[in-house]
Structure 1
């Protein structure tokens, strides 16, 4: 019953709806007592030879009225109880989704996508059942059972009622033992479902890789192991769950035996009539639902409790990125001073950035180059406040970036990552994602800046062309240019291109960079790249190696150093000449 306490905040909030629902459940329970009573009266009238057509018509009218009343009352309680339960699922789903959007990078490294999806679907459905089926089953079983027991005592015989109820305490003992086992096993089953869900999501996302390497059969076999595990865990749940009904049937069987044996003696002694005994047996039959409902109730509650605990674990997670209550809300603007003495990722002792200091004047362009894994993307992650735990200070304008509100900081930065992500909508909606109210003219302007406009016009639906999931229908270069256009649409104070031109040809790259240089002459740009041609126009270029600056200067100065930069430049120039000669 602990789940009811956990959801107490919601029941208090929606107490009016639940009170109305339970009130009409009580009315249903009362009306349900009418048919067995009428049956007993009719039997006694037939036995006494007093049944007439008028009497039979009267009882039939009462039965029809009782049926109509039950329909109306059931409709009202269903609207109030099930409708309110849907509100709980909506509230929890909204809270959970909002929580996901507020979590940091560490959170999404800790939890897999499929696992989060399972929490947001399967677990929330189980919790909703507590607020719907759980409340209904609890109230209905107590009301129906209580009303039936009262009717048995009032309309038949209180002594026979007490005797028939003797076995029922055994049910409470059995339900407690089985309920505890069910909680543990269902939590394990939900965890197995999360793993299977994650496997499904991962395989669908990586289907091209799976097919390329011919691993379809192996992946199917791996998925079968996951599903077998889910089935096995659920079998253990059903093994416990299936014990409820036999236990209840056995206990109710004892009640029936006691009723028939002792009730028969009461009829023989004249204590009750044969019609009363038939009514009593009908009431015993009505008790079967409340008894079975208890088993169903424990199933619902234990499933809901296990799911609520799993969801609450997510909601209890806190972001490492804490926004200052008195944060600066004015847009970021001005010079950038990057002074990071040391940074290492959580749970990783190796140093990712070490004594990395540089400055960028407003309106200038900074180039970052270095081998893969040197630390270029890590520099950007700190700028975007994906991590705050570093020694040092990053200043934008006259304030540390940690003193700005996240909205003020991130709305002033346009970021194009290495792995471009496009939404499953049109090209137009992808470009103006940050501001859906922007005009078509502004969308076209951004597309022209990134040299993608002509490509878009050549597509079947132009700017209304659907790109497919993650932009599957587009080439790598097209996705990169649309991603850059999306970053430019907000006219950011700082534009970050993280190897965002790697899939475009040299001519297109030059056109994009020239357009950016002209359009963003008074705004700051940082370009990380493997191709020297992407950064050679920058006011300063920094060469990163193992999280440290090993070379710095403009293009001419770096060439004169005869270091890594010059070596890579000459190598790439030679490759370009060879490719040109081959063509």
Structure 2
């Protein structure tokens, strides 16, 4: 029953629905007590010969009215109870999505995508069943069982009632231990399903690579192993689940045998009438549901408890980065970066050290350097995806830790080297951040990103479906569509994280020139092709996490260090390719 206590916050929110449903369940249970007693009276009157057709018709009409009322009342409480339970699924999935969105990338390094998907589907469904079927079986079996036992004991025979209940304690003990087994095995089966979901997601995402390396058979064997493991663990759950029904059926059979045998003896002793025994067996028939329900309740609660514990593990994960409360000014402000030192969790070697610069609003900043020099780390700190402990980053006079996190990130539009496109039309992908954008606005930013001509060559133009993750487009086309999507947001700061790597030099020059025409927008460019920094107001060259060179393109060439050497090398390489 612990899972009910864990869900008390939701029961309090929906107390009207649950209270109304339980109230109607009480009324239905009371109505169901009438037919067995009435049938007992009818049997006694028939045996005594005092029953007339008119009285019989009256009894039958009365019973029909009772059953009709029960029918409509059951519809009402089912709508209330299960409606509230299904709404819990919506609440939990929305809560999970908000929780996922609030976490830094390190959270998704600890939890795989397939695992999170499994918790958002199977585990939520198990909790929903607990809030619906679980509440129903607990309340209905309790109310019906107590009411029927009261009537059987008070109005028929307490000796016969005790005799009929003798198998119940044994059944309760067996069901308790089976429930314990079910909880542990169901937890293992859910974990195995998470692994299966993650394996499926990885295989589908990497299908191109798998085919390119000819790994189909190897992947099939690995996948079959995971599927077999899931099947074995589900079979282990089914083995325990299958033991519930035989235990209940044996207990019910023993109960009926004892009640009929004891009832026959009491009739022979004239301590019970045939009508009373008929009514007693009918009431005992009503007790079948509570007995079955108790076993089913243990099953549901153990599944729900295991599922809720898995969800609670996620909800208990506190976001590593907490939003501030300071509201940022609408006017554009300079970005001041003063990083004393920053190390990734678990590492002693600093990823960044002594990085100090100021980026004026509307300027273009270039960030260059060899692989592993700290470029992506710097971006993570600017976007506050990682927390800076030693140093400070300020927007105007507001430190990032003090600023509202969602408001701060909304000022950025980020385009990565491998952009993500949804399986929608090109127009929908460009207008992702601004769904209400007109086609004229979409084409305007597409032209600025130098992708409009390519799109218009497709048979369906902007309505062309790009396939999952943009599989039907080239790398350069995906990058330019992502740039257009970022431009449509009209964010204050545009970040191109090596987002021009798949386009040629001429196209790159045109895109950057178009960005320079938009004076208000601040642009941060990370690139390995140094021609991207020719128009930058300032370029930082990082080496081993520190600024080794700083200045505009001409001053960096004049310094004749790494930047100048790499620039000359790339120019020579380009000349050899063109020859």
TM over 0.5: yes
User: Aligned-pair distance for 1:51?
Assistant: 4.6
Query: Equivalent residue for 1:464?
Result: 463
Query: Equivalent residue for 1:536?
Result: 534
Deviations 1:220-275 (A, max 9, x none): 22222222222222222233333322332333333223212221110111111223
Range 372-381 or range 155-164, more displaced = 155-164
Deviations 1:291-310 (A, max 9, x none): 11101001111111111121
Query: Equivalent residue for 1:402?
Result: 401
Deviations 1:127-176 (A, max 9, x none): 11111101110111112222222232244212211222233233333333
User: Aligned-pair distance for 1:559?
Assistant: 3.0
Q: 1:54-69 residue pairs with structure 2 within 5 A?
A: 54-69=54-69
Query: Equivalent residue for 1:297?
Result: 297
Aligned equivalents of 1:30, 1:568: Cα separation in 2: 88
User: Aligned-pair distance for 1:199?
Assistant: 1.2
Query: Equivalent residue for 1:438?
Result: 437
Deviations 1:364-421 (A, max 9, x none): 3222222223221111111011011342122232332323222332222221112211
Query: Equivalent residue for 1:215?
Result: 215
Query: Equivalent residue for 2:349?
Result: 350
Correspondent of 1:556 among 541, 554, 562: 554
Aligned equivalents of 1:354, 1:130: Cα separation in 2: 53
Range 263-272 or range 400-409, more displaced = 400-409
Contact 2:324–2:405 (8 Å) recurs in 1: no
Query: Equivalent residue for 1:229?
Result: 229
Contact 2:29–2:144 (8 Å) recurs in 1: yes
Query: Equivalent residue for 2:572?
Result: 574
Aligned equivalents of 2:46, 2:397: Cα separation in 1: 98
Aligned equivalents of 1:547, 1:301: Cα separation in 2: 53
Query: Equivalent residue for 1:134?
Result: 134
User: Aligned-pair distance for 1:52?
Assistant: 4.2
Residue 262, structure 1, aligned to residue 262, structure 2: yes
Query: Equivalent residue for 1:547?
Result: 545
Range 420-429 or range 3-12, more displaced = 420-429
> What is the CA RMSD across the aligned residues, in angstroms?
2.1
Q: 1:460 to 1:23 in 2, by over 3 A?
A: same
Contact 1:89–1:128 (8 Å) recurs in 2: yes
When the two structures are superposed, what TM-score results if normalisation uses the length of structure 2? 0.94
Q: 1:7-406 residue pairs with structure 2 within 5 A?
A: 7-325=7-325, 327-331=326-330, 333-406=332-405
Deviations 1:175-200 (A, max 9, x none): 33322232222222211111111111
Contact 1:337–1:359 (8 Å) recurs in 2: yes
When the two structures are superposed, what TM-score results if normalisation uses the length of structure 1? 0.94
Range 215-224 or range 121-130, more displaced = 215-224
Deviations 1:327-355 (A, max 9, x none): 13224733333221211122333321122
Contact 2:424–2:465 (8 Å) recurs in 1: yes
Contact 1:371–1:545 (8 Å) recurs in 2: yes
Range 14-23 or range 32-41, more displaced = 32-41
In structure 1, the gaps of 5 or more residues are none
User: Aligned-pair distance for 1:15?
Assistant: 1.9
Range 290-299 or range 437-446, more displaced = 437-446
Q: 1:443-458 residue pairs with structure 2 within 5 A?
A: 443-458=442-457
Aligned equivalents of 1:452, 1:403: Cα separation in 2: 39
Deviations 1:440-482 (A, max 9, x none): 3332221111111222222233333332222222221111111
Q: 1:390 to 1:419 in 2, by over 3 A?
A: farther
**What SS is found at the alignment partner of 1:367?**
strand
Aligned equivalents of 1:104, 1:277: Cα separation in 2: 68
